[in-house]
Structure 1
């Protein structure tokens, strides 16, 4: 019997050897344009830059505050030289740091040695009288790696959220809000359980989503970013052994707050990461609401309520030339789901650590950028998708005109009010409208004729007979204006 095992292909180019390297993931390949701003905040290189920043600022803080007896004070030129280690950190620095790490096999120790190299070279730039070499051993003074890492991650995430993700999210919310205001008066048939229900307006439904999303962006904007610097198990043991006369909690607090973070006074070796879990839950909730918007808009497109403006030269299907597919919203759905899977895992994993320390958080946190990247990509897709939409008012009006039975709610409610006011013959209003409308199509003339037989006061009869599905929208447009 012939073998069914496929013959392995051996004559292909090895893509892993290509130069420049080919991206493994979609964010660094196909979708690089949309997520590139996050590289400055959440990449491995950005992590090392923040480590350099924290180490340099800790050295400057110790000397400024004269915490360690005998440490020389630094001049402004010397502080500037140290801070330039951070601001000048680019491709060459990344490569050099990687070379040091190959020797140390420890990422934070490599950062320490990188800075010490620069301090050793300082006399060649600042003159032989510089005091920097004398304070070289204050680099990473009394610190465990997690003292540096927790502060670096807090600064990275803070920068990514405040400078990249949140502005994009807020701009999208304002785009949705602007659409809501533009279409506040455009009537649309609602559907509950997929069935025709009380009419609303396009703008009011968009306003609901904008209002929900805006609430989440406010929560994200108010997030706290916590940090600690208290040694190997959070006891300031090494600090006190080296300098017993210092108020180390006060020094730690002033330093963490100098970085723009909130001080966490009680930790194990690691900062507890609870703030990260809280933040990621809020971002994930924003994602889920945005996913709801994407699925709703997709459905409205399929119903013909929204039409898509074709992009010149674009192809919707390889075989069906008429198609304009809602790909922006489908792409957004997929990326929001991937983002949330990561955010949920981050939030669940980071709040737990075995006793005083394990390394699960170290590996997990390296996926923060991917989680935010997929969310940012989804935001970009929804924004671009909404820009290419137009409301089809004729389709909306036709849909409303085919569903006069939805006025049954208004009529039976008016009958109830009239009955309470003492008008005779208003018994069983719900049941009478149910018999007329449930499972039946009712035309406009039939509905007006039915209203005329109910014995309602003349002004109520006239008001109900003038009503159409397109005018039965309550104060939907006012709600948009008042509350959005």
Structure 2
């Protein structure tokens, strides 16, 4: 049978399609995008009137009908029936009920569900990125404050899972903070892409009507319109840039959280977690389990995984408007913001409560002989040796001290004297007191006063710079928030004027 002779007696929507696709999409729009729909309708109506596309006689009753719908329709009680395709058509149906098809249909002049949808999704992302940025900046401020507090607190730094060198906790936290600030910059850059309005692109190619895309963007609180109209409905880099940034944030924080897990273990024990963040075993009364760290770790992984899933969903999709990037995908992605917020809140509460166990740090420094690098460096500076010669002497000292489970300052000098003479055929000019100072962890940190190092001067300068960077981020966030408030007030006043002062 040919298509021309086939008689299609089916009615939209198919019951299975209704339950598997249309109802979830309707519920997603109802849960996430109602306020966005409301703003877009009002802003578009204001713009149509300001450009002369609609007269006041046309615009005013539409405004009044929109206000009546807001007042009379309780969206939370709505159930999808299949009478209309989606939430957009539900609003149009309500307008037609109040205004008739001719006047109601004029609101849709020069726009499409294509540009409406991507504008909705961008509004939804901005509403989630901004609170996430607030939490990230709060964590950055916390890390800077604790880094300053712990700027003289010795810890063991590890490489390859083994004790490597002494540093201070403030230096370690500053490294975490510095990475976080770069992550914040990536999310700010993503937000700038999100902050470009698609409205006015219509289906693909804009419109023959004299619309004002810049005005529409400003009314909705965007910084500017996205220029190319095809890109407005096809270039989903606002999604990929946002979730790429989120994935990196929680991948990087997960590494920090893993260190906290390792450093709180009984065998390492250089971090003490206070009782408020410790759960006990149901059967082993001696155990102190820092369970919040585990929750942060798996929540960070869930967040990174959800973000990665969003990138996978976008992979190999056509460069056009398509459902892959729309309602259900957007709703799925919002889960990354929810789990990520939990990680950031918990981390910002935990970090200030952490304390370094100085006795365990001293014990681990002594047992691992990790200050011996400075002995090699000092031999180069004080005795004029090559670093390779100095390294061989320092290696012999550390092997001997570790073998007897000794302390390098108390037990290493005689071994050092012998190793130095065998290597150089002369006696060292370094006496026992000077040797003990050279291999002390305090000296190890103090002499590393280079840019980016852990010594007090270098670390203080770094923290000051971080605080300035955080302050600049805060200022940008405040400017963005003020622009949004100004836009909202402008839209409210312009819409009220259309209502006729009601």
TM-score, normalization: structure 1? 0.75
| CA RMSD across the alignment | 3.3
- Contact 2:136-2:344 at 8 Å conserved across structures: yes
2:225 matches 1:263: yes
Q: Aligned with 1:367: secondary structure?
A: helix
Out of 217, 229, 251, the position equivalent to 2:184 is 217
Name 2:114's counterpart in structure 1. Answer: 146
State the structure with bigger RCO (CA 8 A, min sep 6), 1 or 2.
Answer: 2
Name 2:318's counterpart in structure 1. Answer: 354
Query: Structure 1 stretch 293-302 or stretch 459-468: which is displaced more?
Result: 459-468
Residues 1:438 and 1:458: Cα distance change in structure 2 (over 3 Å): closer
Name 1:447's counterpart in structure 2. Answer: 412
Residues 1:387 and 1:322: Cα distance change in structure 2 (over 3 Å): farther
2:379 matches 1:415: yes
Structure 1: stretches of 5+ with no match in the other structure: 1-41, 122-132
- State the distance in 1 between where 2:220 and 2:173 align: 40
Residues 1:383 and 1:466: Cα distance change in structure 2 (over 3 Å): same
2:84 matches 1:104: yes
Query: Structure 1 stretch 286-295 or stretch 342-351: which is displaced more?
Result: 342-351
Residues 1:264 and 1:370: Cα distance change in structure 2 (over 3 Å): same
Name 2:500's counterpart in structure 1. Answer: none
Name 1:283's counterpart in structure 2. Answer: 246
- Contact 2:270-2:357 at 8 Å conserved across structures: yes
- State the distance in 2 between where 1:78 and 1:464 align: 86
Instruction: Tell me by how many angstroms 1:179 deviates.
Output: 1.5
- Contact 1:294-1:333 at 8 Å conserved across structures: yes
Name 1:34's counterpart in structure 2. Answer: none
Out of 297, 300, 320, the position equivalent to 2:284 is 320
Name 1:62's counterpart in structure 2. Answer: 48
- Contact 1:228-1:263 at 8 Å conserved across structures: yes
Instruction: Tell me by how many angstroms 1:191 deviates.
Output: 1.6
2:365 matches 1:400: yes
Give the length in aligned residue pairs. Answer: 410
Residues 1:280 and 1:460: Cα distance change in structure 2 (over 3 Å): farther
TM-score, normalization: structure 2? 0.72
Instruction: Tell me by how many angstroms 1:229 deviates.
Output: 2.9
- State the distance in 1 between where 2:182 and 2:428 align: 45
Residues 1:429 and 1:137: Cα distance change in structure 2 (over 3 Å): same
Structure 2: stretches of 5+ with no match in the other structure: 1-27, 421-425, 464-502
Q: Show CA shifts across 1:189-218 (max 9, x none).
A: 222112221110111111110121122123
User: Which structure 2 residues correspond to residues 4-403 of structure 1 after superposition, within 5 A?
Assistant: 44-68=30-54, 70=55, 72=57, 82=66, 92-96=74-78, 98-99=79-80, 102-114=82-94, 120=99, 135-162=103-130, 164-222=131-189, 223-224=191-192, 225=194, 226-230=196-200, 233-236=203-206, 239-240=207-208, 243=209, 246=210, 248=211, 251-261=212-222, 262-266=224-228, 267=230, 270-302=233-265, 303-311=268-276, 315-350=279-314, 353-354=317-318, 356-362=320-326, 363-403=328-368
